[in-house]
Amino acid sequence: MTNDIGAVAENKRLFFKVENKGEILRLFPEQVYGAFLSKLKTFFARHEDKTDVVIAVPPYYSAVERQAVLDACRIGNVNCLKLVNDNTAIAVSYGFF
């Protein structure tokens, strides 16, 4: 496929074509999510000294999708302590508050 968004690379992985300063980049979803997490980390680092995170993911995520989230954390240099289901996060939050 030659679409700008949602194209498939030779190894059958989804990527995004992005133009940055005249240069065309191919970014995988893990790289985009990693950049987002890195930006969030810099934002919250100004307000708090904590650097570890726990990320909630939907319960229907497969093991491959969970691994992609962990890969994004590594790319974004974010220390992910645990991945939890959304339902578990809601239950824990309800228990605390």
Does 89 map to a domain? yes
Band of the pLDDT at 2, cuts 50, 70, 90? very low
Tell me which residue range forms the domain holding 88: 29-96
What is residue 52's three-state secondary structure?
A: strand
pLDDT for position 1:
40
44 within a domain of the structure (yes/no): yes
Asked whether residue 76 is assigned to any structural domain, the reply reads yes
CA-only gyration radius of the chain, Å: 16
State both tokens at 32. Answer: 């985009």
The count of structural domains within the chain is 1
Given a contact cutoff of 8 angstroms between Cβ atoms, the answer to whether 80 and 53 are in contact is yes
> Is the pLDDT at 89 greater than 90, yes or no?
no
The token pair that represents 17 in the structure block: 């074509």
Whether 37 is covered by a domain: the verdict is: yes
Q: Taking all residues of the chain, what is their mean pLDDT, rounded to a whole number?
A: 84
Residue 15 lies in a domain: no
* pLDDT interval class at 43 (50, 70, 90): confident
pTM of the model: 0.74
Mean pLDDT across 44-59 = 82
